[in-house]
Structure 1
Amino acid sequence: MNAPTGAPDAAAPAIVALLDHVDQGVLLCDDAGTVLYRNAAAAAQLPAAHLGASMPAGLAARRVELGAGQVAWYLERANDHAAFLATTARRLGGMLNADRVCRATVELAVSSFAGSALLVLPTRRGRARCWHAAGSAPVRRDQVTLAALPAAVRDTLDGNPVAQPFLWPGGTPFLGGAPNPAAWVVPIQAAGGPAAALIVAGLTDVDLDVLQDFAQRVGTALEAAQLYALQSRVAETLQQSLLPEPPPPVGGLSWGTAYRPARSTMHIGGDFYGAHPIDDGAMFFLGDVSGKGVDAAVLTGQVRHSLRALRRVEDDPQRLLHVLNDMLLEGLESTGEGRFATMVLGTAQPRPSGGLRLTLTGGGHLPPLVLRADGTVEAVELRGMLVGVTDDPVFGRQTLHLAAGETCLLFTDGVTEARGGHRGDEMYGLRRLTTALSGCSAMPAPALAERVEQVTMDWLGGREHDDIAVFAVRAEPVRTAPRHLHSVHHTTRAAVSS
């Protein structure tokens, strides 16, 4: 046992004398958590809690107010099996980051029953990550080759399920640098086999059962963190594959897009847009699927990929929407779930003399707006039924012309139904959107889409919202090849006479 640390001036001598005769570890701290004194039992149990240090976080201790700004913390004994495991569960419970689990494991070991600790987590190609600490030193993270580890540690990582004592030949800085330290290596198991190895040295009054139960709980926390990381990577990959793609460049027109999913934790939602080149221009679309969250995102991806494939065999927007409707109905028959979408699907055909010819088909979606060159905003009369509800739908069709500098704007109900204002429950509405767009006809398509998104978010004022998608198609002036003047070389009089 370590000797008492001695009492600083801030600790009353009577209190110090009392604590010196208590065999339970006690820390005397001020209100800020600074250690003023520790008795011998606390010094042995918490070597890192020296005078002037902050009380270690996550301790299992009972608080007793002493008055005069001083607090006594009665530490749970390290050899109290149930209390220590409860402390471990509280500390590691809910951690979903493997690095934090490993750091907390080493901190718990050093602060509770070991003079030094090392956690080895194997990676690929014969290497491993390791976390280690000794005494009051902070936890450090390093890398090590598996070949440099003692045979007992390698055996544990290879699948030996039994804790065993061993000597580290020549010593190691991972365990404080002592020559040939005597240590224990404890396997940390996961569902798929050994996940890591815990090496501890300088053990206090702790038995093997405590070590093994501690390792079991660490293994559970580490497995949960690794599983969460794997699921996050899978979700990230799937979300990236479903993100809207930037529209391709097409001569005679320009695109503008804005997209903001309802949930900040997801990159995608139920709104979608896209464009694909066709022989005489481009096909474009914007829509919204039923549902929220992951289910809506999956259906969004299916609709987008279906349109990518179907436009190769059908370039008429109205007929293409009928084919898509049949596909969604087939999905309903196979899954038994009602899925539908609203959509505007169209083609843009640049005219040789300038401007665009737009052919639009509506499937139950909000009508587009057209920004004319004189600053006026017109709503396109485009009606139609929902896509994927009935086997004999009626989809509206409209043809319109955009002069150079004019824009057709498509948007989802996340814009017009955004709730905000003074009371926070008033919808933004089509009238406010039309007012915000008036006078914006000179804006490039990307800037116009960004403006619609910005005025919507300003109206929301930070409140929750539905998915928001904006898609702009702008007719660009016809670019003609520059004309060059060529000098005419005149024959000289001398050349003529000769």
Structure 2
Amino acid sequence: MLTVDTAGIIEQANEAARLLLAGAAASVPLARVAPAWLSRAHHDVCAGRRVDQRARGPVGGPVFEAHPVHAGRDRVTWWLVDVDDHQQVVEELRAEREWTAFMVEASVELLSSLNLERCLEATARLAARRLADAALVVMPLDPRRYAIVSCDPRGEVSREHASVDPRTLPGLVEALQGFPPAPTRWVEPAEAPGWVLRDLGGEVGSVAVTALPGHGLATGALVLLRRTPRAGFSDAEKVFAPLFTAWAGAAISVARLYAEQAAIAETLMAELLPPTAPPLEGVELAARYRPAGDSERVGGDFYDVHPVGGSGRESLVVLGDVSGKGLEAAVLTGRIRNILRALVPLADDHHRVLELLNGALLANGDPTSFVTLVLASIERRARQLVVRLTSAGHPPPLILRNDGRVEPVHAVGTLIGLMEHITSVTESVLLEPGETCLLYSDGIVEARGGPLGDEFFGEERLCEQLRQCAGMPPEALADRVQMLACQWVGAGEHDDMAVVAITAPREPSHRAPP
């Protein structure tokens, strides 16, 4: 603290001022002991020419800020504050805010997605932006192939799967092992292979290899490329770089696990989804399926078409409805379809097939696992189709004749999976060209809706509508039946719906000239 009169003579100097300004004492001119910037500031303040009365400048080495306080009409007291320390604190706070903002951004980008490719790209891009000039993420795919995602100084990301030898980059093998945890290793650019240095070319000054830990094991490795030759992290980087690699490794690990599980689920789902109906020689056939939930892909209804069944003279079509809904029903559906697939060679005897399926379900010991189904064995005879039908607790098949008549087939039987002994009746029907046998699940006739919202669509209403569909191709007929049930339900809930239409092909109305 200095008190100086308007003539520029020091009247008082405290101990700190005397230590800072050699020779500062009472009666000594300020200009003799103080730097020029402080003398000019005092002169301007006394003359009333400074709007912002604070002044700043070096004293020796450090920078000080001088704050004037008027101590009467003819003197000013100056308080000198070392702003180097203050500026350092401000810079440290600014840097910490920047790092904190970076970590928030990293957490949002890394932890908000389960997409593996996006996590790898975000890791490379964020690392290149804050920790280096360019960065690579190396993730093993198998013992010889690696996913390499790199980000160059322009922020452009590239991806490739390549066969590289991790031993060519010192520290990479240890980083990929994950345990025991390996510290970041700084490598001379001359030791790094070309596939690492390509994003910076000859501008690489230092290279760092660090692990991306994920759930105790390494998810991959992060390679940092810097133009500066200085090896090592700054104090701030020593704090935040391990946090970033831990978050990135966890995000990649979770995304990779999700991708693997999704691939497994997709493979299993493909086995549960209703198949595309294969072509049958001399038979026109169409199948449609709609699960109960709009977001679901599988459910408890199913159909299968086997071009060759039994002794080989007939094709076999199966349509069924298992107990339950959703995923549990889909799993049971998969089991039943696999059992029936194994029983296709026995399809000449429908009752035997149903007996063996019933025994297999009872052996499971779950009283809630049962199924209703209908078996349809199809044989082409000249222009006609002979269809053998056996129903096991299932809605009766309907025959749509060319004159519009609709005939239910009373091939009744007990449902499968509840009782030790079952009964079944097999009936054969003859389809003339253009006539159709319609198989459907109870989701069609039990669709609840209508004008009052609580009435079943019902078999009677279905038959009434089918009378208007005589001669309709099987694809159009299957679409029509499903559409009618869906319109009846409206926006309400409904059960799984499955429809299979089996039609004897019509002969052409005229022959082409030879």
TM-score of the superposition, structure 1-length normalised? 0.70
| Alpha-carbon spacing, 1:484–1:419, altered in 2? closer, same or farther (3 Å) | closer
| Residue 109 (structure 1) aligned to one of 111, 127, 139 | 127
| Alpha-carbon spacing, 1:181–1:252, altered in 2? closer, same or farther (3 Å) | same
* Paired residues of 1:371 and 1:378 also in contact (CA < 8 A): yes
| 1:310-329 aligned within 5 A | 310-313=343-346, 315-329=348-362
TM-score of the superposition, structure 2-length normalised? 0.68
| Residue 132 (structure 1) aligned to one of 109, 132, 151 | 151
Shift of residue 418, structure 1, vs aligned partner = 3.5
Structure 2 counterpart of 1:30 = none
Letter in 2 for 1:95: S
Structure 2 counterpart of 1:270 = 300
Report Cα offsets for 1:146-174 as digits up to 9, x if no partner.
35996236334543722122343499776
| Residue 164 (structure 1) aligned to one of 185, 188, 212 | 185
3-state DSSP of counterpart to 2:413: coil
* Structure 1: gaps spanning 5 or more residues: 1-39, 46-73, 486-498
Give RMSD over aligned pairs. 3.8
* Paired residues of 1:321 and 1:345 also in contact (CA < 8 A): no
| 1:410-421 aligned within 5 A | 410-419=439-448
3-state DSSP of counterpart to 2:236: coil
1:99 and 2:123 correspond: no
| Alpha-carbon spacing, 1:259–1:176, altered in 2? closer, same or farther (3 Å) | same
Structure 2 counterpart of 1:195 = 219
* Paired residues of 2:209 and 2:222 also in contact (CA < 8 A): yes
Letter in 1 for 2:325: K
Structure 2 counterpart of 1:472 = 501
Shift of residue 331, structure 1, vs aligned partner = 1.5
| Alpha-carbon spacing, 1:186–1:484, altered in 2? closer, same or farther (3 Å) | closer
Shift of residue 339, structure 1, vs aligned partner = 0.4
Residues in 2 aligned to 1:281 and 1:148: alpha-carbon distance in whole angstroms: 59
Structure 1 counterpart of 2:67 = none
Tell which deviates more after alignment, 233-242 or 311-320: 311-320
3-state DSSP of counterpart to 1:442: coil
3-state DSSP of counterpart to 1:439: helix
Letter in 2 for 1:438: R
1:362 and 2:391 correspond: yes
Report Cα offsets for 1:112-149 as digits up to 9, x if no partner.
55554332334454553213143xx4341233663599
| Residue 433 (structure 2) aligned to one of 399, 404, 409 | 404
Shift of residue 234, structure 1, vs aligned partner = 1.1
1:229 and 2:259 correspond: yes
Report Cα offsets for 1:397-419 as digits up to 9, x if no partner.
43333222211101112323334
* Paired residues of 1:123 and 1:129 also in contact (CA < 8 A): no
* Paired residues of 1:157 and 1:195 also in contact (CA < 8 A): no
| Alpha-carbon spacing, 1:280–1:166, altered in 2? closer, same or farther (3 Å) | closer
Shift of residue 267, structure 1, vs aligned partner = 4.0
3-state DSSP of counterpart to 1:312: helix
Residues in 1 aligned to 2:340 and 2:404: alpha-carbon distance in whole angstroms: 33
Shift of residue 240, structure 1, vs aligned partner = 1.9
* Structure 2: gaps spanning 5 or more residues: 1-86, 227-232
| 1:96-495 aligned within 5 A | 96-110=114-128, 112=130, 114-124=132-142, 125-134=144-153, 137-143=154-160, 146=164, 151-152=169-170, 154-159=172-177, 161-169=182-190, 179-191=203-215, 193-200=217-224, 206-247=236-277, 249-263=279-293, 267-276=297-306, 277-278=308-309, 279-313=312-346, 315-332=348-365, 336=366, 338-352=368-382, 354-419=383-448, 427-461=456-490, 465-476=494-505
Residues in 2 aligned to 1:411 and 1:75: alpha-carbon distance in whole angstroms: 69
| Alpha-carbon spacing, 1:450–1:180, altered in 2? closer, same or farther (3 Å) | same
Shift of residue 318, structure 1, vs aligned partner = 2.7
3-state DSSP of counterpart to 1:405: coil
* Paired residues of 1:76 and 1:84 also in contact (CA < 8 A): no
Question: Which of the pair has more CA radius of gyration?
Answer: 2
Letter in 1 for 2:224: V
Residues in 2 aligned to 1:483 and 1:79: alpha-carbon distance in whole angstroms: 81
Shift of residue 205, structure 1, vs aligned partner = 5.6
Aligned residue pairs: how many? Answer: 408
| Alpha-carbon spacing, 1:275–1:146, altered in 2? closer, same or farther (3 Å) | closer
Shift of residue 187, structure 1, vs aligned partner = 0.6
Report Cα offsets for 1:37-83 as digits up to 9, x if no partner.
xxx99xx99xxxxxxxxxxxxxxxxxxxxxxxxxxxx9962455xx8
Structure 2 counterpart of 1:489 = none
Residues in 2 aligned to 1:425 and 1:212: alpha-carbon distance in whole angstroms: 61
Shift of residue 321, structure 1, vs aligned partner = 1.5
Letter in 2 for 1:77: R
Tell which deviates more after alignment, 370-379 or 198-207: 198-207
Letter in 1 for 2:315: A
Structure 2 counterpart of 1:77 = 97
* Paired residues of 1:373 and 1:441 also in contact (CA < 8 A): yes
Shift of residue 329, structure 1, vs aligned partner = 0.7
Residues in 1 aligned to 2:107 and 2:512: alpha-carbon distance in whole angstroms: 79
Shift of residue 382, structure 1, vs aligned partner = 4.1
Tell which deviates more after alignment, 292-301 or 117-126: 117-126
Residues in 2 aligned to 1:303 and 1:444: alpha-carbon distance in whole angstroms: 30
3-state DSSP of counterpart to 1:207: helix
| Alpha-carbon spacing, 1:163–1:472, altered in 2? closer, same or farther (3 Å) | same
